[in-house]
A and B are shown apart, each in its own frame.
Chain A
Amino acid sequence: MIEKARANTFGYLSGLWREIAFSLRVMTKPFDGYWDLKHEKRGSVRASVFIILCMLLATLAHYQFSGFFFVKSFVRDEVSIIREFLVITVPFALWVISSWCFTTLMDGEGSMKDIFIATAYALVPMIIINLPLVFISNLVTLEEGAFIDVLKGIGIVWSGFLIFSGTLVTHQYSIGKGLLTILVTLAGMGILLFLALLVATLLQQVLSFFIGLYQEIGLRLL
């Protein structure tokens, strides 16, 4: 019994490890990597969630352990894990949903799961570059901080390229169509946000109407 559980746990962990390690191949050889990711099922949702959590960890590590010159103490004191979590997950979710909406309309071959995995794996360069920078920022002066900015910029560009190539491979798009999809997806994120705000405002109105009604009844009739 115990043996079996141990074997299961070990299998789970080693499987997860292989899936996460595959992100390095996606990072270095995006087109091959994304092809295998989708068609040979080398990635998984659990690994994607793990990567997103790593992203959160990298952000928090930046705030907590960066050098004196790079994070003001009043910023450090105000960091909220929940807010940072939302800052990462909300745009991520918007991107995935919006991308799925448009690629489905535009003959994309990827499912929502594929898009989710591809987008999460695209975050890896940012994590891998940012984590050592937290340590390095403790050793450099303000003027040398420019290098850190440059490296961070490289991480962002790299991730951006991975998202682009991920879109191309996952949906079998040409370059032009891929670019168009990304632009449309960005616009779609705005529309989604707008709709969400609209619904929230309307709900608030409806809610305040019923609360008002309840109070009126309570004060006037009873």
Chain B
Amino acid sequence: MRKAILLAFVFMIVFSTQVFATLPNTSYNQIVYDENDISYSSAPASFVPETEHVFAGINGLKDPRDIYVDPSGEYMYIVDTGNNRIVRCDKDLRPLDILSNFSFSSTEDSLRGPQGVFVDKYTDLIYVCDTQNHRIIVFDQDFNCVRIFAEPEILLSSDTTSFNYLPSKVLVNRSGQMLTIVQSLNKGIMELSSDGEFVGYIGAPPVSVDLWQKFLRLFMTKEQRGKMEKFVPTEFDNFTFDESEFVYAASSTQMGQLMSQYSNQIVVKDLAPVKKLNPKGDNVIDYDYYPPMGDIYFDVMTQFVDVVYLSDDLFCALDKNMGRLYAYDGDGQFLYMFGGGAGERLAQGSQLGTFKTPIAVERIGSRYFVLDQATRSITSFLPTEYGSAIEKSASAYYNGDYDLAYSTWEEILRMNGNYHQAIEGMARVLLRNGHYKEALDYFKIIDSNGKHASDAFKQYRKQLVSQYQMPIFVLILSAFAFAVVRKIWIALKKLKAEAIL
């Protein structure tokens, strides 16, 4: 008897720990917003932390600023700014080789405070932003220096005197043109030709002066007016290409302005903290009401510092203030969120999967990698069943595989009944397949009364009208006939009365 109790006790302990062990080590806030973005509820973990890489083998990182996965998905480049080097790792983050010193035209040279790296998928050349040396350097795959682009001569700007050229990120497109983010330059992304000559700026919204500002200008001194003219703060933090070389750019400076002007829909598109720029530099991001902007209701404002493009128009943006990652689909619809730590009282980045100062995010396969500048480490995240189902459904819907998307959404709803995106998606599939009444019912469940719901209603109304064509026709006809008969009746009565008189 005693043995049995003991055994049961042991079993209890073993199984209880097992239960806890199988629970993913999640960070604290996993949330999903409802359709109207007015409330949120908790959600299952979409991604869970796997390991934290600290790179002890190469004496650790110092003030790292960026990570970059080359187009083949085989290598990751870590920009180890404080150590003046670039570290190349394999996709499991084992360091392979290090770039710090190099020789160019038989002179020894070295990097100083590099902040960005990019690998051109057409030429396999590595572009490094040697920020503190004011230049962009091109290396081949064996880290031999091929070319150095010094500071370009800026033709358009009138105030070059105080300008300090500090290129921090670079992208190179099909034709060899370089797009660079230059630190403390608030005119957008600088575009350089393949020879390193200045072409122009893209991505900065046009300066709009409203009537009130024009009125205020009447009373301003010249100095004040000059100050106002410089008010075009579009400073990007990081950017990335999608397959067709549209630029996804994150900007942490936009949120404050966005929050003060969110009722002005035109301005909001220009101030979106994550932009999708076409080659002309226009923001072409899609969204319903709010642009992708992280937390809509918050104590600490979301500020996106980096964005990673996944596939099928999905992208994920990193918020430095709360250490959270937010994924969106091509319609700007929020998909999932994970991470945490930075701004929260509880974690402060000490728990695995939370961050102190997250600064860059990359993705290899289904793994996310997040670089934390303060803890000098890279944390990898693996998807849960829930997280991968969300991505699967979004991709399936994007690729037109509606049946797969529908069944995946059903699966997601079993895991999270509050996931309104699934209901919305199912409603859209139903609408597409001609089940208008059901689609409308689904839209009504989540109170989604936008364009798609309206289309469903229109088709449903058409169905009803054609179904009850006969009765409606008879009703209208009889009403008309009744009116005519009544008119004649009255006229006859009148005639009769007159005849009698």
Asked if B451 is an interface residue, CB under 8 A from chain A, the answer is: yes
With contacts A74-B447, A142-B449, A142-B451 known, is A68 near B36, CB below 8 A?
Answer: no
- Nearest A residue to B452, CB-CB: A142
Query: Known interface pairs A141-B457, A141-B458, A143-B454. Does A69 touch B38 (Cβ–Cβ under 8 Å)?
Result: no
A68 and B453 within 8 A (CB): yes
Query: Are B454 and A72 closer than 8 Å at their CB atoms?
Result: no
Are the CB atoms of B449 and A74 closer together than 8 Å? no
Interface core residue of A74, A139, A142, A143 (most chain B CB under 10 Å) = A142
Interface residues contributed by chain B, number (CB under 8 Å): 13
Once the chains are docked, how many angstroms separate the CA of A73 from the CA of B453?
14
Taking CB atoms, residues of chain A closer than 8 Å to B461 are: 139, 141
Do A141 and B447 touch across chains, with their CB atoms under 8 A apart? no
- Give complex CA distance A68, B36 in Å: 14
Residues of B within 8 A of A141 (CB): 454-455, 457-458, 461
Residues of A within 8 Å of B493, CB to CB, are none
Interface flags, A6-43, vs B, CB<8A=1, else 0: 00000000000000000000000000000000000000
* Distance, CA A143 to CA B458, complexed state (A): 10
CA distance A142 to B458 in the complex (A): 9
B406-457 residues with Cβ-Cβ distance < 8 A to A are: 444, 447, 449-451, 453-455, 457
Contact across chains for A69 and B36 when beta carbons are under 8 A apart: no
Residues of B within 8 A of A68 (CB): 444, 449, 453, 457
Roughly how many angstroms separate A143 CA and B453 CA in the complex, as a whole number? 11
Chain A neighbourhood of B450, CB < 8 A? 142
For the side of the interface on A, what is the size category?
under 10
**Chain A nearest Cβ from B66, distance in angstroms:** 42
Bound-complex Cα distance A68 to B447 (A): 8
Within residues 204 to 239 of chain B, which ones have a CB less than 8 A from any CB in chain A? none
* Mask: chain B, 15-42; 1 = CB below 8 Å from A; 0 = not: 0000000000000000000001010000
CB interface residues, A 59-78, toward B, < 8 Å: 68-69, 72-74
Contact of B36 among A74, A139, A142, A143 (CB under 8 A): A74
Contact between B447 and A69, CB atoms less than 8 A apart: no
Tell me the bound Cα distance from A119 to B387 in angstroms: 60
Residues in A whose Cβ lies below 8 Å from that of B444: 68
Q: Say yes or no: B449 contacts A69, CB within 8 Å.
A: yes
Query: Would B458 and A72 count as touching, CB distance under 8 A?
Result: no
Would you call the interface of chain B mostly helix, strand, loop, or mixed?
helix
Task: Give every chain B residue within 8 A of A73 (Cβ-Cβ).
Answer: 447
Partner of B453, one of A69, A74, A139: A69
Complex CA distance for A56 and B308, rounded to whole angstroms:
52
A117 CA / B348 CA spacing, docked (Å): 66
Which residue of B is nearest A77, CB measured?
Answer: B447
B252 to chain A, nearest CB (A): 31
A142 to B443, CA, bound (A): 14
Q: Which residue of the partner chain B has the closest CB to A70?
A: B449
Contact at A74–B38, with CB atoms within 8 Å? Answer: yes
- Of chain A, the residue at the smallest CB distance from B449 is A69
Contact yes or no, B457 A72, CB < 8 A: no
Residue from A72, A139, A143 within 8 A of B449 (CB atoms): A72
Which residues from B are CB-within-8-Å of A69?
Answer: 449, 453-454, 457
Residues of B within 8 Å of A139, CB to CB, are 461
A67 to chain B, nearest CB (A): 9
A158 to chain B, nearest CB (A): 27
Nearest chain B CB to A214's CB is how many angstroms away?
37
Question: By the criterion CB–CB under 8 Å, are A142 and B447 in contact?
Answer: no
Q: Chain B contacts of A143 at CB under 8 A?
A: 454
Whole-angstrom distance from the CB of A77 to the nearest CB of chain B? 10
Set of chain A residues within 8 Å of B458, measured between Cβ atoms: 141
Q: Distance (Å) between the CB of B440 and the closest chain A CB?
A: 8
The 8 A CB mask of A132-166 against B (1 = contact, 0 = none) is 00000001011100000000000000000000000
* C-alpha spacing A142/B453, complex, angstroms: 9
Question: Could you tell me the distance between the alpha carbons of A69 and B453 in the complex, rounded to whole angstroms?
Answer: 8
Q: Residue of A at shortest CB range from B444? A: A68
B460, closest chain A residue (CB): A141
The docked-state distance in angstroms from the alpha carbon of A74 to that of B457 is 20
Which residues of chain A from 168 to 206 have any CB-CB distance to chain B below 8 Å in the complex? none
Please name all residues of chain A whose beta carbon is closer than 8 Å to the beta carbon of B453 when the two chains form the complex.
68-69, 142
Q: Complex: how many Å from CA A139 to CA B38?
A: 28
Q: Which residue of A lies closest to B451 (CB)?
A: A142
* Bound CA–CA A141/B461 (angstroms): 9
Q: Which residues of A contact B457 (CB under 8 A)?
A: 68-69, 141
Residues in chain B near residue A74, CB distance under 8 A:
36, 38, 447
- When distances are taken between beta carbons in the complex, the residues of chain A under 8 Å from B449 are 68-69, 72, 142
CB distance from B260 to the nearest CB of A (A): 24
Report which residue of A69, A72, A73, A141 has the largest number of chain B beta carbons within 10 angstroms of its beta carbon.
A141
Contact check, B38 vs A142: say whether CB atoms are below 8 A apart. no
CA distance A71 to B314 in the complex (A): 31
Q: How far is B446's CA from A202's CA once the two chains are assembled, in angstroms?
A: 47
Proximity string of chain A (73-99) to chain B, C-beta cutoff 8 Å, 1 when within and 0 when not: 110000000000000000000000000
Give residues 59-82 of B contacting A (CB, 8 Å).
Answer: none
**Bound: A74/B34 CA distance, A:** 11
Contact with A along B249-263 (1 / 0, CB 8 A): 000000000000000
Q: How far is the CB of A21 from chain B (nearest CB, A)?
A: 22
* Other contacts beyond A68-B444, A69-B457: 14, CB < 8 A: A68-B457, A69-B449, A69-B454, A72-B447, A72-B449, A73-B447, A74-B447, A139-B461, A141-B455, A141-B457, A141-B461, A142-B449, A142-B450, A142-B451
Q: Which 3 A-B pairs have the closest CB atoms?
A: A142-B454, A73-B447, A141-B454
A-B contacts, 19 listed (Cβ < 8 Å):
A68-B444, A68-B453, A68-B457, A69-B449, A69-B454, A69-B457, A72-B36, A72-B447, A72-B449, A73-B447, A74-B36, A139-B461, A141-B454, A141-B455, A141-B457, A141-B461, A142-B449, A142-B451, A143-B454
